[in-house]
Structure 1
């Protein structure tokens, strides 16, 4: 591929990633607020609503890993158009229809994200591939800083539901750019067994690494805003600005990964887990909104590290024709956690409160740290 073609492909990946993730993240963080403060749903019901979104996403990503390239492309195009249509429908949502819309939004996400990830990794040169993946994750982080910042300003003048209409241009941009996204030319025809992927030590390390953050992050996106509002009297605008602060430190870490090539990733993994545990403790112990903001700031660092590092592990551990299956299974595991955690978290919050609920997240993070350490030997043997 010529340099000019490569630059153009990367620009399209950056644009669709930015537009989709900014508007999708707005959905993920705003729907729980609408459910709580417009529709008066309980914490358990909000957890189930978030889980419904993740379950639909899990189903779609699993299906995506089983179908041929031609069919994946068709569904990808359809999902991009459906995403633009869903944004104004959320504005019209009722306590009943918000459940259906959340399921549809999750299904759309499951068809879009794995294919964008795979497209970003379609390069034989490992250094180019890892740099493009780092740029892709940098685009994710940029959208997650800019999106909540814009929404924070919007909420000074507009309602929660009106924000869905204001994000519609980004949804339209996703549909317009979707035809430019590349798909693999090679693919295994014999069928890729789950065991073939899940026994790969690179895949296991990628999953363990990402779960150390995905578990607390699933609770943070579903209930972090409600926690800030109920315990610290934060306004809707301040809630979104807390997420902007969180994603700003995430952005700085992904910028670092896009500029510097790290051969040894395990040390970054251990650092990320340590910061996750420290951030969770500070959330529980925060006496005021300023300390809560510091907790969000700290938790942004591991968020910036874990996802791109996991993608790099997958890129290093699989050939091109296997990467779609690996990415889809990886994304499926992450989304199934998004099914389990919000439901369990909602029940815990209704039972023991927010603070003990966040404190309980430290135990699975510590257990995953042990699994990463144990799998490190297998990773070295596979190198």
Structure 2
């Protein structure tokens, strides 16, 4: 129980502070430095590039003991970035964001791996995974509300000082987070062999399907609300709360009733994403826009736990870090390209018509997801004697 509590508290602090950076840095770039949409997209991509390098070329190639040392050091450096952000100039904003991306590339994959090794049986581990993703959503629900309150009295730059408390708690908890025991000589990063598993491809396509919608919301969701509906900064973060509240509720539900049928849940998630994006595109006012965000929160709540669960069902403990690192690396590549593509599209077509491109990407990845689901091992797809999430 202690290991679970440590995992959940650490997860909450890491994701709340990480999300604050993802949503606040674009606004600082826009409001303080008059950045264009393309520059905002590139800035978000630079963070992802740095995260990718850390995840694929560092984290995936270290054994458990060395990863733990680097992990604990990264939490300390991560804390220091929150003390730097309030005082940066334009160049400093980019350099600090690059550093943050690298540190998160060390921190977050190890937290995901920890969530999948707590528990003696598969059903218990899947409940812990669901609780882990529940903590992610809880942080994304409460974090924007906290930031909205702070912004009533302080500036965007000041927010980083308040959230430095979150990163300080991470330093205290980092030595107690569980790491997997690995066999000597097992650390080998071979993406070709991992890609051959249908379960891994399902995990990738699940997340890839939702990558552009989520990149659009984090990088341009606030700007969209400000430009089209004249929302202020405080209201922007309340809108994010609508999105993350439904995500939170979804993950709370699957922590009580674990996902049984991965195929059914994955395709249902894709359909909800398309519906939410269509409503966003046609929304004439901020109220319908808020409804679209709430709908999109449901697949956001399902995407990540579905991917982790299908990986955990089809891998051993000493393979888990490699699988999670490969998964994170590929998703980071998509995360690098997504904001750039969205930024260019926003400049050429406008923010509203940019959503059409996002809808097309969802349809394309849903087709790839469907093809991989047909090849999925029954062990990874369906668990017997477990309450069904959707049916």
TM-score interval, smaller chain: over 0.9
Q: Distance in 1 between matches of 2:5 and 2:70?
A: 22
Match runs of 1:76-115 below 5 Å: 76-115=71-110
Q: Distance in 2 between matches of 1:263 and 1:278?
A: 24
- 1:121-180 Cα offsets, whole Å, 9 max, x none, are 114410111011111000000000000011011111111111111111111001111010
Q: Distance in 1 between matches of 2:220 and 2:48?
A: 15
> How big is the shift at 1:262?
2.4
The reply on whether 1:128 has 2:85 as its aligned counterpart is no
RMSD: 1.2
Match runs of 1:127-146 below 5 Å: 127-146=123-142
Match runs of 1:297-336 below 5 Å: 297-336=294-333
Please state whether the residue corresponding to 2:65 is helix, strand or coil: helix
Q: Distance in 2 between matches of 1:149 and 1:379?
A: 40
From the superposition, tell whether residues 318 and 42 of structure 1 become closer, same or farther in structure 2 (CA, over 3 Å): same
Match runs of 1:15-54 below 5 Å: 15-54=9-48
> How big is the shift at 1:380?
3.8
Counterpart of 1:194 (choices 169, 172, 191) is 191
Q: Is the 8 A contact 2:26 2:219 kept in 1?
A: yes
Q: Is the 8 A contact 1:120 1:129 kept in 2?
A: yes
Question: Aligned residue for 2:293?
Answer: 296
Question: Aligned residue for 2:63?
Answer: 68
- 1:295-344 Cα offsets, whole Å, 9 max, x none, are 11111010001110110000001111111000011111121111101011
Q: Distance in 2 between matches of 1:59 and 1:18?
A: 24
Q: Distance in 2 between matches of 1:44 and 1:188?
A: 46
From the superposition, tell whether residues 321 and 161 of structure 1 become closer, same or farther in structure 2 (CA, over 3 Å): same
Q: Is the 8 A contact 1:118 1:324 kept in 2?
A: yes
Question: Aligned residue for 1:154?
Answer: 150
Q: Is the 8 A contact 2:199 2:377 kept in 1?
A: no
Q: Is the 8 A contact 1:201 1:382 kept in 2?
A: no
Counterpart of 2:164 (choices 155, 168, 171) is 168
Match runs of 1:365-376 below 5 Å: 365-376=362-373
> How big is the shift at 1:382?
6.6
Q: Is the 8 A contact 1:213 1:306 kept in 2?
A: yes
TM-score, scaled relative to structure 2: 0.94
TM-score, scaled relative to structure 1: 0.96
Please state whether the residue corresponding to 1:159 is helix, strand or coil: coil
Question: Aligned residue for 2:353?
Answer: 356
Q: Is the 8 A contact 1:83 1:108 kept in 2?
A: yes
Deviating above 2 A after TM superposition, structure 1's stretches of 4 or more consecutive aligned residues are 380-383
Question: Aligned residue for 1:284?
Answer: 281
Q: Distance in 1 between matches of 2:185 and 2:379?
A: 25
Q: Is the 8 A contact 1:188 1:322 kept in 2?
A: no
Please state whether the residue corresponding to 1:261 is helix, strand or coil: coil
Please state whether the residue corresponding to 2:48 is helix, strand or coil: helix
Q: Distance in 2 between matches of 1:126 and 1:226?
A: 42
- 1:274-298 Cα offsets, whole Å, 9 max, x none, are 1111111111111111111111111
> How big is the shift at 1:188?
6.0
Q: Distance in 2 between matches of 1:263 and 1:286?
A: 35
Q: Distance in 2 between matches of 1:240 and 1:127?
A: 36
